[in-house]
Amino acid sequence: MIDNFQNKANTWDNPQKIRMTTKFSNELSESIFLYKEDNIAEVGAGTGLVGLSLVDKVNKIYMIDNSPSMLNVLREKLDSTNINKVEIVEGEFETTNLNHLDGVICYMSLHHIADTINFIREVKKRIKENGFFAIGDLIEEDGSFHGSKDILHFGFNLEKLSKLLEAEGFIILRETVYDYVSKNEKNYPIFIIIAQK
């Protein structure tokens, strides 16, 4: 598999990314209760900006990504700490053996996942009853955000995505545009959806 983030990993944690992930983590923490006994997964964890901000609130977090370069940056961070609540999983969430999770987080990663419906079904299958599914991503855009034809989804229509989740049996607890990212002289809206099984 090609590592699409090989040339970006070492400079990923820039001020804009840190601001964006901090804002998402805060939105998430204000929307749901995380418990010390919770075991959660972050899909598309990258360098760990979201997951590491939540690690003190949970029992364990599985940080999953298919980019070895991004995970190497995360490993370097963990090596310099005494955090023992993180398990790094390289690969695709759908092929892991993770089950009975209390929640799954997917921040700015859903647009990289080809089969959205299958992914939603896998999340539902792997979380406990009343478990949460938190998504943060771009509102549908014209493709200029990444400027690449390799991206699988140019963001999402919030209403359609919510209906898709509901059709698969999730209850939508919150759906809102909460932030914007400035790029290419444009402001791209970012949404959060909190769904419950």
pLDDT digits (tens, 9 = 90+) for 55-82: 999 999 999 999 998 999 999 999 988 8
- Residue 6 pLDDT grade (very low, low, confident, very high; cuts 50, 70, 90): low
Q: Which residues contact 167 (CB under 8 A, 6 or more apart)?
A: none
Q: pTM of the entire structure?
A: 0.91
- Residue 3 pLDDT grade (very low, low, confident, very high; cuts 50, 70, 90): low
- Residue 14 pLDDT grade (very low, low, confident, very high; cuts 50, 70, 90): confident
- Scan for tokens 């909190």, then name that residue: 194
What are the tens digits of pLDDT across the range 127-177? 999 999 999 999 998 888 877 667 777 889 999 999 999 999 999 999 999
As a whole number, the mean pLDDT across the chain is: 91
Q: Which residues contact 132 (CB under 8 A, 6 or more apart)?
A: 32, 102, 103, 104, 173, 194, 195, 196, 197
Determine contact, residues 120/175, Cβ cutoff 8 Å: no
193: tokens are 């959806």
pLDDT at 7: 59
pLDDT at 144: 80
Fold of the CATH domain 9-196: Rossmann fold (3.40.50)
